[in-house]
Amino acid sequence: MMHWASTTEFFAMGGYGFYVWISFGLTLLCMVFELWQLRGRRHALESGERA
């Protein structure tokens, strides 16, 4: 099941680690950021209404 012989191999991604991890990392980061930003927008609305 596990494709990798070691954690080092996993992070190295056959020498392409930089490209692969930035791709995956940026994707996840963007999605988390989008959700976080929406949360902020929601809070601003709710606190605005109470004001």
Partner 1 sequence: MSLFGINWFRYSSPQTFYPLAGKLAPIFLTMAVMLGLVGFYIALFIAPTDFQQGEAYRIIFVHVPAAWMSMFIYLVMAGWAAVGLALNARLSFMMAQALAPTGAMFTFLALVTGALWGKPMWGAWWVWDARLTSELILLFLYVGFMALQSAIEDTRRADRAGAVFALVGAINVPIIYFSVKWWNTLHQGASINMTKAPSMAAIMLWGMLLLALSFWAYSIGVALLRVRCVIAERERESAWLGAAAED
Site of interaction with partner 1 (CB under 8 A): 1-4, 10, 13-16, 19-20, 22-24, 26-27, 30-31, 34-35, 38, 41-42, 45, 48-49
Q: How far is the CB of 33 from partner 1 (least distance, A)?
A: 9
CA distance 47 to 49: 5
Q: How far is the CB of 8 from partner 1 (least distance, A)?
A: 13
Q: Which residues, 6 or more positions from 11, have their beta carbon under 8 angstroms from its beta carbon?
A: 17, 21
For partner 1, give the closer residue by CB, 2 or 6.
2
Q: 51, exposed or middle or buried, with CB in 10 Å at 0-12, 13-18, 19+? A: exposed
